[in-house]
Every structure is written in C-alpha cells, then in structure tokens.
Structure 1
Amino acid sequence: LREDDTQNRMKESILLFDEICNSPWFKDTTFMLFLNKTDLFREKIPRVPLTVCFPDYSGENNYEQGTSFIKQQFLDTRNFNQKIYHHYTCAISTENVKFVFGAVKDTLLDGTLDTFLL
C-alpha cells in the first residue's frame, strides 16, 4: 500500500485491514489490532469532529466514544469469525508500550497453549 496524500489514512487503514482479514488465507487467523497515536487523537478529537472522516458518526466528540467507534469500524470489516484483539497504543509512552506488549505476550501464550491443548 503506497501512501497517497489525497486519501484519508484512517479509511485506507480500514480498507487494508478488510483485505487482509477477509483473505481466505487468513480466515482462521487471530489478529491483533493496534490503534496507535492515542495521544494525538486525544488532542485532536475536541477540535476536529469525527464526522470529517466518518460522516455517519453520531457520537460525541470525545476520546472514549471516538476510539470505540473507530475500533468498531475495523471489527465490522471481518467476514469470518476470527478473534481480533485490539489495543490502544501510544508508541512514545514507554509505560504504555510495556503494558501492551505484556498483554500481547500473554495473548500469544494463551493461544499457543490452546492450540496444543495444554
């Protein structure tokens, strides 16, 4: 996917996620969705309505409702019944990155144990 400055990056990301999730090659794959730059989103959402990107958005312009709506846009793309774990991340926050990668490690370990019925 080549970056195109004329396209909305959020919509491009959702389309790419849709293509990958709904590929027959990945129909039984567990996905991890990282919604990054939460710090920038938290700053921007009070100033720029989410309807700029999503005209059908009817929630409030706040962090909680906005992130929930965006997460759901990604989850609604799947046609198969894959597990999708999501994490809100701020890559410049060391504590957040440690927490998220700890959660990812636990998720991967649980999945591996389930696979081998341990």
Structure 2
Amino acid sequence: MASIPPARIARIVSTRCSIFETFYNPQSLRTGAKYLRARLRGPSMVKYYPQEINIAKAIRAYPELEMVNKAEVQRLQDVEDKKKRGKGAPKKAKDKADSRRATRKR
C-alpha cells in the first residue's frame, strides 16, 4: 500500500472545505468559530426573567385611577426636608459667570 503525500491531502481538504463551505485552517489556528457557532444566550435569558412592571409609567398612563407612588412621594418629601436644612442640591448655573469654578481663584 502506497502512502498519500501530505500535499495531496491538503488539496483534498481545501477542496472539501470549498464544497461544503467550511473554513480551511491548515495551521490549526484559534479562530473563535466554536463561540460564533454557539447558540445565543440573550434571548433565553430575556425569556427566563419576568417582565418588570413600571409603577410610574402605569400611574402616568392611567391618571383616572388616582394611584399614588409611595416611593416617589417619600423621595420628594426627603428632598424637601434636606432643602429646609440647607443640605439640598446647589442651584444650577445659568451662564459661565454664575458657576463656582469661575469664581474660584487659581
């Protein structure tokens, strides 16, 4: 039995790859093809977790129900209390001259 030369085997493999539209990789380099062929995980993860209900959107969509978002009311009350104690957010500068950075010395 005669052995087949490696050059002929390489040509056969390259022809097979062109026929079956696969990637010809004679040096066996890492290509990442395994990960590109793998099934995507995103859609199944989205199906697994239930869709969240946004209370704020529901309240805005149906004002006739007169629902109250307790968390938002509490947040607004806390902001108001901080402002009374002088701990609130600073006023936004209308122009460059009003900003704190402009008044600070270098």
**TM-score class normalised by the smaller sequence:** under 0.3
Structure having the larger proportion of residues in strand = 1
TM-score (norm 2): 0.23
Higher relative contact order (CA 8 A, sep 6+): 1
